[in-house]
């Protein structure tokens, strides 16, 4: 007696909503990649592109939120449908923040352009790679409704936190040893700090995905 077609229009709209969230997340992944390329190659043009991509993320944020409100008003969603829409509204604001942080990361990358690289410069892209992978896996988990993957991503956040702590120590040593490169060390540390914030927002998204699937709202972060 289950009739899949009864809410075909609404189901289609929910699917489009989910596709848009994916596209928004992929845009932030692109920002991470481009930002690190800009940093590695001191490429000003790439840095500009990252900042432009943030406009696209903001646009997704507005469009998706508008769509969510429309669906709430017109479809009176219940149960999982309701959880999907309510969670989506939270998820997009987390992704939007990730975009903002990537702009911050990129701005510091620009300040470092044309300056001699520190020995620890490679730590930043390495951390970015971890963060990008977390985001990629979160998007995969959303599309596959994979709660195990969600748990794994949240655990990975530990590695990002550890990386930040290491980079902090490294920066302190660097500053003590070569006070003249303090500025570069601090800029680099800021980049790491913002990347770590991106990872935190990724774990927020994971918690919403968990809620969407189980109806259980809980802190996955230990």
**Residue closer to another protein (CB basis): 2 or 180:** 2
Counting contacts by CB under 8 A, is residue 6 touching another protein?
A: yes
DSSP secondary structure string, 102-132? HHHHHHHHHHHTTSPPPGGGGHHHHHHHHHH
Smallest gap, in angstroms, from Cβ of residue 222 to another protein?
A: 23
Smallest gap, in angstroms, from Cβ of residue 197 to another protein?
A: 30
Counting contacts by CB under 8 A, is residue 179 touching another protein?
A: no
Structure tokens at 8: 């075909």
Q: Using CB under 8 A as the criterion, what x/- string covers residues 155-174 for binding another protein?
A: --------------------
Contacts of 99 (CB under 8 A, 6+ apart): 27, 28, 31, 53, 54, 57, 58
Counting contacts by CB under 8 A, is residue 1 touching another protein?
A: yes
Smallest gap, in angstroms, from Cβ of residue 76 to another protein?
A: 6
**Residue closer to another protein (CB basis): 14 or 38:** 14
108 vs 197: CA distance, rounded Å: 15
> What backbone torsions phi and psi does residue 5 show, to the nearest 5 degrees?
-80, -15
Counting contacts by CB under 8 A, is residue 90 touching another protein?
A: no
Smallest gap, in angstroms, from Cβ of residue 71 to another protein?
A: 13
- Contact between 120 and 167 under an 8 Å Cβ cutoff? The reply is yes
- Contact between 141 and 208 under an 8 Å Cβ cutoff? The reply is no
Sign of CA dihedral 82, 87, 93, 95: negative
Residues 58-87 close enough to bind another protein by CB under 8 A: 76-83
Report the candidate in 95, 197, 156, 23 with the shortest Cα–Cα distance to residue 148: 156
Q: Using CB under 8 A as the criterion, what x/- string covers residues 8-37 for binding another protein?
A: --x---------------------------
**Residue closer to another protein (CB basis): 6 or 180:** 6
**Contact positions vs another protein (CB under 8 A):** 1-4, 6-7, 10, 76-83, 215-216
């Amino acid at each position: 007696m289950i009739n899949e077609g009864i809410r075909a229009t609404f189901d289609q709209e929910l699917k489009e909503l989910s596709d848009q969230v994916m596209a928004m997340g992929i845009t932030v992944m692109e920002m991470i990649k481009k930002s690190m390329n800009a940093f590695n190659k001191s490429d000003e043009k790439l840095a500009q592109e990252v900042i432009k991509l943030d406009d696209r993320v903001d646009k997704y944020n507005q469009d998706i939120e508008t769509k969510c409100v429309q669906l709430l008003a017109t479809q009176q969603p219940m149960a999982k449908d309701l959880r999907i829409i309510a969670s989506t509204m939270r998820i997009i604001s987390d992704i939007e923040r990730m975009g903002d942080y990537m702009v911050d990361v990129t701005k510091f990358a620009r300040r470092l352009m044309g300056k001699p690289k520190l020995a620890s410069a490679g730590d930043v892209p390495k951390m970015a790679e971890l963060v990008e992978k977390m985001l990629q896996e979160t998007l995969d988990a959303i599309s596959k409704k994979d709660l195990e993957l969600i748990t794994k991503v949240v655990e990975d956040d530990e590695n990002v936190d550890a990386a930040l702590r290491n980079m902090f120590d490294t920066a302190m040593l660097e500053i003590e040893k070569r006070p003249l490169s303090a500025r570069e060390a601090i800029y680099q540390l800021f980049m790491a700090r913002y990347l770590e914030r991106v990872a935190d927002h990724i774990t927020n998204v994971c918690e919403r995905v968990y809620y969407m699937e189980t109806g259980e709202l809980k802190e996955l972060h230990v």
